[in-house]
Amino acid sequence: MLIELYNRDHLAAVYGEEFAVSALRALQRCAHAWGGSVSVVDDKRFLVAPPSVRADDGCERDRSETTLVERWQRAFSATPFDFGPQRALLAVGVSRAALGAGLRQMDGGHFQLQEIECRHSSAPLLLPPQCGWSWRLGYELDMEAALAFHEALAQRRAHLVFQPIVSSSQLASRLSSASTLGTTAAPLYQEALLRMVALGDEVPLSTSRLVAALERLGLVRLFDQAVLTAVILALESQPDLNLGCNLSSLSLVPDEGWWGSVLDRLRVRPSVASRLTFEITETAPLRDFDRAVALVRRLKALGCRIAIDDLGVGHTRLDFVRAIRPSVIKISADLVHDAVVNRVAAEQLERLAAMAAAFAPVVVAEGIGTRRQMDAAWEAGIHWLQGEAAAPHILPSPPVVLGLPCEQISWD
């Protein structure tokens, strides 16, 4: 297996070279303690000959190795690294590697890696470290947000609320006979939204800021994994639920350390897959177009529904939308809100809704918080609505609480 500390250079730039070196050595110690034989490649990567997997059947051996990759990947991601007064989360990749003839040993026991094929590896798109205090301060603030989220997971202070997506025709019928907003009409599905309980006078961390920080740090899959695991558990325990789960475009890479058990779980539980909608949010550019399309098609083949979230903002690519053929397209709340106060924006919303309808059978207007916003969506020809004025969010019972992907490990 190849293990890589993706944010090694960033850690060195912000917390010092000694911090980064110590982090890599801690990873190597863990791999060795778990029975692996470690060979250093360079200052951010090392190879591990894992404990022998005993299996007579080739497919069973392959599954066992995949499980090992995923277990190590989750363990390395579940525990912050402390060195002196400083603390950070490590962006670590674990992948199976096939070595070619280009691998040769150098002086000191290190290896020169000229050719290596990694199966299902998915390095995050990290901008290189920048000079100056502004970049360093921004990185530290992002890491503080990531650590706050990690602490909320560890203390079970993160939970989900569900917000229904409702039909505008059903809502209009209800509003015609009542003066109050809201509806009990059967929803298309309910989107799972993160909420975190703040401690004391602590200011709650907004989900949008948290996700943006995690994407910049290369750690967004910690968020996606925690939310998706909780959503699948809720679907398994409540057969009448239909839920939507947000997924960063940066998570659309089919590596074993993240997707292996998810795909297996959905494959053996088709009744769960059929009630799960993945809402793809392209707040960051796709890392690999072809692999992203392939993964989405696998999810659809398992019976999951696909939605494009926040159309009109971010990095949504129409060629990607055309390739994956989503069931649902959700139009950004910003565009709906602008349409209330600006005639040009209202015309743009109508044209965007018509275009979205050409790509997906269901178009949703997000962020419906007032009757005027509801009217703007109706006038644009949008037949599904989401927002507090359309249908308030619901606190599920029993609560759906998020946790860490596995127990935290000791770096010593």
* Lowest mean pLDDT across 152-166, 190-204, 247-261: 247-261
pLDDT per position as a tens digit, 171-193: 766 666 654 444 455 799 999 99
Residue 135 lies in a domain: no
Query: Do 212 and 93 belong together in one domain?
Result: no
Confidence class for position 254, pLDDT limits 50, 70, 90: confident
Reported as type and span, the H/E element at residue 296 is: helix 289-301
Q: What is the CATH number of the domain that holds 166?
A: 3.20.20.450
Position 364 pLDDT exceeds 60:
yes
Residue 248 lies in a domain: yes
pLDDT of residue 110: 52
Query: Do 174 and 251 belong together in one domain?
Result: yes
Q: What is the CATH number of the domain that holds 92?
A: 3.30.70.270
Query: Do 174 and 258 belong together in one domain?
Result: yes
Reported as type and span, the H/E element at residue 391 is: none
pLDDT per position as a tens digit, 309-331: 999 887 788 999 999 999 999 99
**In sequence order, which ranges of 155-205 are alpha helices (DSSP H)?**
168-175
Position 301 pLDDT exceeds 70:
yes
Residue 60 lies in a domain: yes
- Which one of 45, 74, 101 terminates a domain? 101
Residue 191 lies in a domain: yes
Query: Do 151 and 251 belong together in one domain?
Result: yes
- Domain span at residue 88 reads 2-101
Residue 172 lies in a domain: yes
Query: Do 174 and 299 belong together in one domain?
Result: yes
Q: Residue 195's CB: how many other CB atoms inside 10 A?
A: 15
Residue 373 lies in a domain: no
Residue 284 in contact with residue 249, Cβ under 8 Å?
Answer: yes
Q: Residue 345's CB: how many other CB atoms inside 10 A?
A: 17
Q: Which residue has the higher pLDDT, 17 or 113?
A: 17
pLDDT of residue 112: 52
pLDDT per position as a tens digit, 114-136: 445 555 456 777 889 998 999 99
- Which one of 101, 126, 152 terminates a domain? 101
Query: Do 148 and 85 belong together in one domain?
Result: no
Residue 113 in contact with residue 97, Cβ under 8 Å?
Answer: no
Residue 138 lies in a domain: no
Confidence (pTM): 0.89
pLDDT of residue 65: 64
Query: Do 66 and 160 belong together in one domain?
Result: no
Residue 36 lies in a domain: yes
Closest alpha carbon to 411 in 75, 140, 157: 75
Kindly state the average pLDDT of the residues 277-300: 92
If you ran DSSP here, which 8-state letter would residue 34 be given? T
Task: Please state the domain count of the chain.
Answer: 2
Closest alpha carbon to 223 in 254, 190, 192, 199: 192
pLDDT of residue 101: 43
Q: Which residue has the higher pLDDT, 70 or 329?
A: 329
Query: Do 186 and 278 belong together in one domain?
Result: yes
